[in-house]
Structure 1
Amino acid sequence: MKFNSRGLISLDINGEIYDYKLYQSLESLSRTKSQRKSAKELNISHTVFNRRLLKAEDKLGFKITEKVGNGTILTRNGLDLLEEFQKYLIKIENTANLNIAGGHISTGLLESIKHPFNANIYSSSDKDAFELAKRGAVDILTLDDPLIAYERDIDFTPIAYDYLVLISSPNCEEISKISDLNDLNFVNVTGSAQRLAWTTLKHYDISYNIKFKVNSQFDAFKLVRNSENLHCFLNASYFKGNELLKYDTQHVISLVKVNEDKSEVDEFIDYLLNDGQESIENQGFIPL
C-alpha cells in the first residue's frame, strides 16, 4: 500500500494528535520489519524515522515497536494503533479505489504481489475485518482462515493454499513424529488457522498445554524463540519450521466479495486466480 499526504489523516488520542506521518511509519515497518528499510522507503533518514517513533511512544505512554534480532517489529499496541488508523482511513478513502481488509497473512500476500489495480489494503484480524465488511466499509474481505465464512454460509473464493509449521524454542529436542508433541507447551494465536493443529492433536489423542495467548503470529514467534520449552504452529508462507502437520493443516487463503456492484472486484479476483498465481507462489504460498 502506497501513501501520500492527500488525506492528511490524523487521530485524536487522549487529546494528542497523531498524523499521517506516523501512520506511514507504522504501515511501512509492519511490512519491512526494519527501521532502515522503512526510512529509505519513506525517503527520510533513519534518525528522523527513529525519532518519530520515540516521540509517539513518549506521548502515548507505551511502546509501539520492539527489537527482534536485527530488525524491529510492532508491539501489540503498535499493531492496534495501526489498525485504528486504517479503520479511520477506510471511512474517508476515495471509493474509486478497491478497499480491501482482512487478516495479516492474506493482506500481507496481496500487499506483496504486483497487480494492475489501485487498491488500498488494510491489515487486521479476520474478526475485525469481518466487522468492517458487515458495515459495507470495504469492497473485498480477505480471510486467513475460512472459518468465519463456513460458520455463516458465506461464499468465498480460494486464491491460494497455506499450511502450518511447528516453531519451537531453541533448546527443544527435535520433534520427528506426532507422539513427540504429547504434553508440550504451546502459544495460541487468536483467530488464526491454528484451530486445525489443535483439531489434529485431539484426533491423535495428543495432550497439549496452552501457556500463552496472543493476537499476532509475529508476537507468537518472538515469544517462542525467546523462551524455553515452548512451541507454536504458524503459517508456512511466513515462517520456516517443522512440517510435521503439513497435510493436516493445509487450508485456503480466500476472498469474499463484499461490494457486488463494483466491477473492479470481479476483475481483481479474476486476476489473482489466473495471472496472479505465479506471484502468489513466489510469496511462499501454494497456488491453486
Structure 2
Amino acid sequence: MELKSKGLISLDINGDVYDYKLYESLKSLSKTKSQRKSAKELNISHTVFNRRILKAEEKLGFKIAEKVGNGTLLTLNGRQLLEEFQKYAIQIEETADINIVGGHISTGLLESIDLPFNVNIYSSNDEDAFELAKRGAVDILTLDDPLIAFERDLNFLPIAYDYLVLISSPESKKIESISDLENLDFVNVSGSAQRLAWNSLKHYDIEFNIKKNVNSQFDAFKLVRNSENLYTFLNASYFNGNDLLKYDTRHVISMIKVNEDKPQVDEFVRYIINDTQKDIENQGFTPMG
C-alpha cells in the first residue's frame, strides 16, 4: 500500500485520495466506539456515516471497522490508517491549538475531560508517539508507561496512577492466586505497560507463554474473551478484571512538555495537574493528589 500526503489531512493511497471526512470519521469512531454516536458528533446521519466507512473499505480492499457487541471498533488496518492521517495532520498543521500525541490510555483520559483549551489529540502507542515528539511535531507527549521517560532521563509530569488487571473469558478456569498463572498462555500488547506484569511473573518464578502479540488493548480483550485458553493483563481504568497484581503493576500516567515556547502548554499542564483530579478519578484512574 503506497501512502502519500495530498493537501491538508488527506492521503493518496494507491492512487485514491481519502480526505478529511474519512479522517474525522475514523478519529471520532476511535473515541466513541459507536457509529451512531460518531454520526451525531459529526452532525451527519448514521446512514451517511456508515456509507462513508463502507465506501472506503470497498476502495481500500480491507475492513477498517467491525461490529463488536453493541459497538463498533476500528480494526488494526483502521487504526493504522488513522495513525497515518494523524502523522500528516500533526506535521502540516500550523495552529495556535495545543497538539498532543500519546498512548491510547493517556490520550483517552485527556479526551474524556471537558477541557477549556483548543486541543488536537492524536492517539498511538508510546513508541510511535515518542518518535513524533522527537521531531518536534507536537506540543505535549503523553505516556501510558513511564519507561520511555525513565530510559532517556526525560522530565515527565505524573497526572494519574493506573494498574493492570488479569482478563480472561467467562469459560476460563478461575484464578485465585498468583500460582494459578503457572504455564498459562497470554496475549501481549506492544508498547503498553504490560512489561510490569511480565516482570512480576518472572519475579514470582511463574512460567508463562506469550502466544500472541497485538498493538491494541481492545484487540487483546477481544482475543481473550473469545478463548478460554488465553489471558492478558490490561489497564484497570478501561477494563474490569482480576486485580491480583494490582500493587505489582501500579504505574504512572504522565505527560512531557515538548514545546515549552508555546505559552498555552504551561497553562494546560497546570490545569491538568491542579484542576482535573476529580475528573481523572471519575474515569477510573487513581488521582495524584
**TM-score between the two structures when normalised by the length of structure 1:** 0.96
Using the TM superposition, give the Cα deviation of residue 8 of structure 1 relative to its aligned residue in structure 2, in angstroms.
Answer: 5.4
What percentage of aligned pairs have identical amino acids? 78
**1:139-218 equivalences in 2 (<5 Å):** 139-218=139-218
Tell me whether 1:280 sits opposite 2:280 in the alignment.
Answer: yes
Aligned mates of 1:169, 1:282 — CA distance in 2: 26
Secondary structure of the equivalent of 1:54? Answer: helix
Q: Which runs of 5+ in 2 are unaligned?
A: 1-6
* Aligned residue in 1 for 2:79: 79
* Aligned residue in 2 for 1:256: 256
Secondary structure of the equivalent of 1:253? Answer: strand
Aligned mates of 1:9, 1:251 — CA distance in 2: 35
Aligned mates of 2:252, 2:212 — CA distance in 1: 26
Using the TM superposition, give the Cα deviation of residue 46 of structure 1 relative to its aligned residue in structure 2, in angstroms.
Answer: 1.4
Aligned mates of 1:182, 1:92 — CA distance in 2: 50
* Aligned residue in 1 for 2:3: none
Secondary structure of the equivalent of 1:278? Answer: helix
Secondary structure of the equivalent of 1:101? Answer: strand
Using the TM superposition, give the Cα deviation of residue 170 of structure 1 relative to its aligned residue in structure 2, in angstroms.
Answer: 2.2
Q: Is the 8 A contact 1:115 1:276 kept in 2?
A: no
Using the TM superposition, give the Cα deviation of residue 115 of structure 1 relative to its aligned residue in structure 2, in angstroms.
Answer: 1.6
Tell me whether 1:123 sits opposite 2:123 in the alignment.
Answer: yes
* Aligned residue in 2 for 1:108: 108
Secondary structure of the equivalent of 1:274? Answer: helix
| Structure 1 letter corresponding to 2:239 | F
Measured on the aligned residues, the alpha-carbon RMSD in Å equals 1.0
Aligned mates of 1:97, 1:43 — CA distance in 2: 22
Tell me whether 1:48 sits opposite 2:48 in the alignment.
Answer: yes
- CA offsets 1:136-191 (integer angstroms, 9 cap, x no match): 00010000001011111111000000000110022112111100111111000001
- CA offsets 1:93-119 (integer angstroms, 9 cap, x no match): 233111110000000111110121111
Q: Is the 8 A contact 2:187 2:231 kept in 1?
A: yes
Aligned mates of 1:84, 1:197 — CA distance in 2: 30
- Which contiguous aligned blocks of 4+ residues in structure 1 show a shift greater than 6 angstroms? none
Using the TM superposition, give the Cα deviation of residue 36 of structure 1 relative to its aligned residue in structure 2, in angstroms.
Answer: 1.2
Q: Is the 8 A contact 2:109 2:280 kept in 1?
A: yes
Aligned mates of 1:40, 1:120 — CA distance in 2: 19
Tell me whether 1:32 sits opposite 2:32 in the alignment.
Answer: yes
Q: Which runs of 5+ in 1 are unaligned?
A: 1-6
Tell me whether 1:58 sits opposite 2:55 in the alignment.
Answer: no
* Aligned residue in 2 for 1:93: 93
Aligned mates of 1:92, 1:209 — CA distance in 2: 43
* Aligned residue in 1 for 2:242: 242
Aligned mates of 2:174, 2:93 — CA distance in 1: 49
Aligned mates of 1:72, 1:118 — CA distance in 2: 27
Tell me whether 1:70 sits opposite 2:60 in the alignment.
Answer: no
Q: Is the 8 A contact 1:66 1:74 kept in 2?
A: yes
Using the TM superposition, give the Cα deviation of residue 32 of structure 1 relative to its aligned residue in structure 2, in angstroms.
Answer: 1.0
- CA offsets 1:21-45 (integer angstroms, 9 cap, x no match): 1111111111111111111211212
| Structure 1 letter corresponding to 2:119 | A
Aligned residues: 282
Aligned mates of 1:199, 1:41 — CA distance in 2: 41
Secondary structure of the equivalent of 2:51? Answer: helix
